[in-house]
Structure 1
Amino acid sequence: MYAQYDGLIFDMDGTILDTEPTHRKAWDEVLGRYGMRFDLEAMIGLNGSPTWRIAQAVIELNQADLDPHQLAREKTDAVKAILLDTVQPLPLVEVVKEWYGRRPMSVGTGSESAIAEALLNHLDLRRYFTAVVAADHVKNHKPAPDTFLLCAELMGVSPAKCVVFEDADFGIQAARDAGMAAVDVRLL
């Protein structure tokens, strides 16, 4: 089905790993410390964004006087404490296994590299990917195409010959802006 592509790129959270419930639990825990709340629909709309950008939106919603980068660090620490014990692969990981050794593959994620690498290693999935490009590897995050363009570069594949698997509108836009085909896994 994907034989016409020379490289496969996968988003991580919500695409190959079921991390969303854990991320929400971590946000609940951290925001509870400050008596803050978040709008679930707004947060879902920010899927694919780096943690600090989500933190900034939450701070604005709550009209709080906090540093978004510090709040993001607290959330990342909370995620690390619970993530490895709770996250499971999603069915799309079978596509990864099927194409392993046949095409170069990479992960392009809005998560921080420490979390992405820890999760992929813990679940014995890291070995399938030529590269993992995370939020701290690019200046411009999804919906900008930088994450996926760097994936293509590290795989040694032309962007026009890549397909991106995504579960978020920001990621679909980033793939298209990178000149890549996009598969919206929410429709599979």
Structure 2
Amino acid sequence: MIYDQYQGLIFDMDGTLVNTAPTHRKAWKQALAPYGMQFDEAAVVLLSGAPTWYIAKMIIESHQIDMDPYQLSREKNTALYNIFFDDITTLPLIEVVKHYHGHRLMAVGTGSEHAVAKALLHYLGLLKYFNAIVGADNVTYHKPDPQTFLRCAELIGVQPETCVVFEDADLGIMAAKAANMAVVDVRKMLVA
């Protein structure tokens, strides 16, 4: 395959390996309903890859409400766990993961919390393919900062410049480039 030149393969999760968008939308609606808030889907899509607390902060600010974004984030994650596996499916890129399993070191670098990512990958039978997971709660600075992907490279023991990142969001693509890694925009990719 065309990625043989890389020592480490790093994958975003949501929208790259798994289709979680419908589930996240449902969870946000459930978490926001008690407060009479809604979210602008287009705005949330632009924040794809950002940690949940940051998206919560943006939603709260757009409604001009005084509320703790971390509390709203926890409520959204609770709603997410309650409906977690309703609509989750893998995306075609999983074939790349399966092809390189045992031949390259692989990690997941996600804006989701570590426990959420681990539970989802376990449920889908994908956890065994990855040598490391770095979630939003494992780093101080989030995408577009490169820390998530740099931590992935560190955990799998490869130099950043020998890694390729698979991403579906502009923030993640900026993070990969800032980490001095090759990047594949999966929105433009066809997987046979």
TM over 0.5: yes
TM (norm. structure 2) is: 0.97
Q: Is the 8 A contact 2:22 2:87 kept in 1?
A: no
The runs of 4+ residues in structure 1 deviating greater than 2 Å are none
User: 1-side partners of 2:85 and 2:30: how far apart?
Assistant: 17
Matches within 5 A, 1:39-188: 39-188=40-189
- Aligned partner letter, 2:116: I
Q: SS at 1:26's partner residue?
A: helix
User: 2-side partners of 1:76 and 1:90: how far apart?
Assistant: 22
- Aligned partner letter, 1:106: A
TM-superposed CA distance for 1:4, in Å, is: 0.8
Q: SS at 1:86's partner residue?
A: coil
TM-superposed CA distance for 1:85, in Å, is: 3.4
User: 2-side partners of 1:144 and 1:24: how far apart?
Assistant: 25
Aligned length: 188
User: 2-side partners of 1:37 and 1:87: how far apart?
Assistant: 23
Q: Which runs of 5+ in 1 are unaligned?
A: none
Matches within 5 A, 1:3-22: 3-22=4-23
- Deviation per CA, 1:56-84: give whole Å up to 9, x if none: 00000001111000000000010111112
- Deviation per CA, 1:26-71: give whole Å up to 9, x if none: 1011111110111111100000000000000000000111100000
TM-superposed CA distance for 1:110, in Å, is: 0.3
TM-superposed CA distance for 1:136, in Å, is: 0.5
Q: What is aligned with 1:30? A: 31
User: 2-side partners of 1:41 and 1:150: how far apart?
Assistant: 29
Q: Which runs of 5+ in 2 are unaligned?
A: none
User: 1-side partners of 2:170 and 2:159: how far apart?
Assistant: 23
User: 1-side partners of 2:87 and 2:188: how far apart?
Assistant: 25
TM-superposed CA distance for 1:156, in Å, is: 0.5
Q: Is the 8 A contact 2:6 2:162 kept in 1?
A: yes
TM-superposed CA distance for 1:86, in Å, is: 2.4
Cα RMSD for the two superposed structures: 0.6
Identity of matched residues, %: 59
- Aligned partner letter, 1:162: C
User: 2-side partners of 1:37 and 1:62: how far apart?
Assistant: 9
TM (norm. structure 1) is: 0.99
